[in-house]
Structure 1
């Protein structure tokens, strides 16, 4: 039996995530090998070049998909929050495995939480979503931009460059570094990015054998949750660099499984926000859950647009169209598209 070739980015986090998928496939009796692919996003990080001016989604995805379509790999593994919300011809999302905890976390000096940091402390994040929601908390901290992998970001605290960094808990969990977390942020205060904590496993749409194999890795609850979140983001016409937070969770209701979705879209400074929630019955047949989840996300997104989200998104697009030139100093708004 030939090895199933799994395409992955070269970073430690990416290869670790792809290794989890490989292990799951090995457990099903399928031999695998990891094939490392360098993406445009990786080259930008390695050279220290800002991703300002790059498309707001897909900079870490396209090279893996190109390798997949060229037959260089059989499977591609992505952080699902990096995926564009539109379909790519010839590519199928074959599986969304069980999700890690999707919340954001703080790693701060001296074991401090955000609320314990003195006013003026430098808190680093490359995510406009995190910036807007933390600004809205009114803590008086200074939000600054940051690039680089987890090691680089956390290392800046020891160097004294920053007082804290904000990261996705899932990445630290997969790297075995949760002991460095000083605070887990409550989604009531900071909603995660749509799809955060989940992996996307793709293959060629006409590869029926691999599609069937990968389907065994799919978790229906996770798949439904991220479908709702990403459909909401698509309805708002926001990419992964927009200040949009969303979190869906499956819960057991009186009449069976239900999907609960919370979402927020904010101005860049967090001063304005449209925050809404909704739920829907999923039914007992998991094969129908994606359609129900997509309807929930689309309906809630449309409600948010009607309640002021449309104006907010227009303001955000206007602001992004006047983004500084690539040689300008990075800001927390534009420092990086991909945010661990």
Structure 2
């Protein structure tokens, strides 16, 4: 049986989609189904545009073209970086699996110098307002500059004038370039984006159970609960990729702990909130944390500098 898996065509997207494709084939084999997973490369607005993506909807930039391909029968399964998905579920598409999460941390890549040892006024590139704000909170003397492109492009900027770039550790690990990270930021220093390090696998709800159940076998319950809390927080804050919001939920047994941070663009003011509760109430915990942050003035921080 042949299965068509839709993915963006970047190296990272192809790599992580290939990992999911292998996992689906293995899960199908365990069910006695011989599945041949074929990759279908789909070009999105985010891959075509050369401008900054800050302020644009991640849905329109990276997700819509993929979902259109699924709905129009071009492919059978989609793989996304989960942090690219809008908080609201698509009414006609099933989020069939959230596989086990990779490293959630952000990575600083330099020419061998740690964050503490970068010279005053050093130029550090990132396309994320969240990373930029938290970098400035750690080192207000840095000059943080906009940056976009694939991993190769971003790392290449280290040889074109930048002193450092910040990337997701998960992406570096997936393309076997984690050794190029000079320093990994612990969440206490730089809280990751909601959903960072996690993947999302989407199918149509009426997909053939013979292979669809194999896709659902990729589900990792604790990762699903963690990202559900983080994204519920994001939904309450009505914040997208352009907002300096960090969140990380961890699950131990039946308990979930959610740490959240809203920080202004200059990195000079931050609100931190920690919530604990039953893991099965992940969405409720995320929403309550979001409302608490709003009550403390998070809206002003996200809108100001």
Tell me the TM-score normalised to structure 1 length: 0.84
The answer for the alignment partner of 1:16 in structure 2 is 15
Q: Does 1:249 align with 2:250?
A: yes
User: Residues 41-80 of structure 1 correspond to what in structure 2 (within 5 A)?
Assistant: 41-44=46-49, 48-51=50-53, 54-80=56-82
Q: Quote the Cα distance in structure 2 between the aligned partners of 1:304 and 1:54.
A: 24
User: Contact 2:54/2:241 (CA < 8 Å) preserved in 1?
Assistant: no
**In the alignment, what sits opposite 2:4?**
5
Question: What is the CA distance between 1:155 and its match in structure 2?
Answer: 1.0
Residue by residue over 1:103-160, the C-alpha shift from the partner in whole angstroms, topping out at 9 and shown as x without a partner, is 0010001x1111110001100000000011111123411100112111111111123x
Looking at structure 2, the residues matched to 239 and 52 of structure 1 have their Cα atoms a distance apart, in angstroms, of: 10
Instruction: State the shift of 1:215 in Å.
Output: 1.4
Residue 57 of structure 1: CA displacement?
Answer: 4.1
Matches within 5 A, 1:85-234: 85-109=87-111, 111-159=112-160, 161-207=161-207, 209=209, 210-234=211-235
- 1:267 corresponds in structure 2 to 264
State the Cα distance separating 1:310 from its structure 2 match. 2.9
> Unmatched 5+ residue regions in structure 1?
283-288, 320-340
Cα gap change, 1:23 to 1:113, in 2 (>3 Å): same
Find the partner of 1:311 among 288, 300, 304: 300
Q: Cα gap change, 1:15/1:56 in structure 2, threshold over 3 Å: closer, same or farther?
A: closer
Equivalent-residue separation in structure 2 for 1:51 and 1:246 (angstroms): 21
Within 2, Cα distance between the matches of 1:229 and 1:52? 20
TM-score norm. by structure 2 comes to 0.94
C-alpha distance in structure 2 between counterparts of 1:139 and 1:54, whole Å = 26
**Contact conserved, 2:54 with 2:127, CA < 8 A, in 1?**
no
Determine if the alignment matches structure 1 residue 278 to structure 2 residue 275.
Answer: yes
| Unaligned stretches of 5+ residues in structure 2 | 30-34
Residue aligning to 2:32: none
Instruction: Give the whole-Å Cα distance in 2 for the aligned partners of 1:62 and 1:105.
Output: 28
User: Structure 2: how far apart are the matches of 1:106 and 1:51?
Assistant: 21
Which deviations, in whole Å up to 9, do the C-alpha atoms of 1:87-110 show, x marking residues without a partner? Answer: 22211111000000110010001x
